[in-house]
Structure 1
Amino acid sequence: MKLLIVDDDQLVCQSLKLLLGKEEDLEVVDIAANGQEAIEVCQRELPDVILMDIQMPIMDGIKSTKRIKDQWPSVQIMMLTTFQDEKNIRLALKAGAEGYLIKSAAIENMAQQIRALRAGSTVLDADVLKTIMEPDREALEGLTQRETDIVDLVAQGLSNKEIAGQLFLSVGTVRNMLSVILDKLEIRDRTQLAIYYWQRKQG
């Protein structure tokens, strides 16, 4: 499996190259210091998996990820960054990244995570999942923030497919979560749910 490591910190690049180079089935074909260099390496080497930092000079990791996925959709990208804020996580996943890990996490199992990514799994750090899914104080009573987001979009008249696109979820997940929401609130259908939402907002 051919790997590309993209980070403006040379120490990070060299450490990962040394660590992953010990694995028989992994080959670090190159390292890059920014998103533009990553694109150039892709043109030359076409790696299977890219470990991509977010904040870099010249071109950041999110912009680079989008361009790489547009041109080489088979290349899989794992963000490896210090940034755990929800905005960066969502932007990275929207750009096409299949994984998102925090640099402070233990990297002993990095090789296994890369193999899982290549096998088709989405690899998300536990803290990243918590950031995305954690309930919020502003959520509707009895619902998580994510469930409240779905109710908000239902109230705006969006279909399950449109909601899935907005929240980076599958249509099946939206359908299942909507069923849970209706059950929690003891509401019959989407129309009643929208009425409930607007009554709560006005109250």
Structure 2
Amino acid sequence: MIRILLADDHPVVRAGLASLLADQPDMKIVGMVDSPGDAVAAAAAGGIDLVLMDLRFGDSPGSGEAGGVDATRRIRKLEDPPHVLVVTNYSTDGDVVGAVSAGAVGYLLKDSSPEDLINGVRDAARGESVLSRQVASKIMGRMNNPLTALTPREIEVLTLVAQGQSNREIGTQLFLTEATVKSHMGHVFNKLDVTSRTAAVAAARERGII
């Protein structure tokens, strides 16, 4: 039996997922929470095999890392942690890289078919990698174009630039020198073929990178 915790701040989404998965003979919903902190606390209490984690829990613009990413990282640091499968509406490169880097075993979009979601839950519970088709295409695109694909750190820096932070502020948050931040932005400019921070942010948003 796969014991599942649903972590999403939308009651309708939680109810829909619970209704779909509860019908499966090998699955049991053991809890539903609406905040990242509650998800970590429930996982720490034990008795959970898989957490279905939303990516953003009403995060305000400029608040930094998505709540689901931080919760995933904290859960995966627990002793004997459950696997985490991200189920979200967001599919930018930064979101995907952040979730996978935090330890998520998979990444599905909420518009996935019921069959894909059910199969994804079973695979994720076994620790197998699960990716929606759209996310898989993004990753393959990065692998096929390694010279123009932004690195996780470049995406992280550019995301903070998009939030209006200066090089000094970014350096402080990421524990980097200003020179290193400038170097990362130089690589971003070259890869996106732009000459300004504003243009870099616009190009990245247009391409779904941030």
Q: Give the TM-score category using the shorter length.
A: 0.5 to 0.7
Structure-1 residue corresponding to 2:57: 56
Report the counterpart of residue 184 of structure 1 in structure 2: none
Aligned to 2:108: 101
Match of 1:88 among 83, 95, 111: 95
Q: Which has the higher contact order (CA 8 A, sep 6+)?
A: 2
CA contact (8 A) 1:34 1:57 kept: no
Letter in 2 for 1:92: A
Shift of 1:149: 6.5
For 1:144, the equivalent position in structure 2 comes to 144
SS in 2 for 1:42: helix
> Which residue is 2:12 aligned to?
11
Report deviation, 1:57.
4.1
Gaps of 5+ in 1: 136-142, 154-164, 167-200
Among 61, 65, 74, the residue aligned to 2:72: 65
CA contact (8 A) 2:43 2:81 kept: no
CA-CA distance at 1:108 after TM superposition: 2.8
The answer on 1:121 being equivalent to 2:128 is: yes
Code of the aligned partner of 2:38: E
Higher Rg of the two aligned structures: 1
How far the C-alpha of 1:17 sits from its partner, in A, is 0.6
Q: Which amino acid aligns with 2:144?
A: T
Instruction: Tell me how large the CA RMSD over aligned residues is.
Output: 2.7
TM-score by length of 1: 0.65
- 1:194 match: none
Offset from partner CA, 1:148-192 (integer Å, 9 cap, x none) = 269x99xxxxxxxxxxx98xxxxxxxxxxxxxxxxxxxxxxxxxx
- Uncovered stretches (5+) of structure 2, i.e. residues with no partner: 60-65, 154-189, 191-210
TM-score (norm 2): 0.63
Deviation track 1:47-94 (CA, whole Å, cap 9, x = no partner) reads: 100100011047710000000001145410100000010001000000
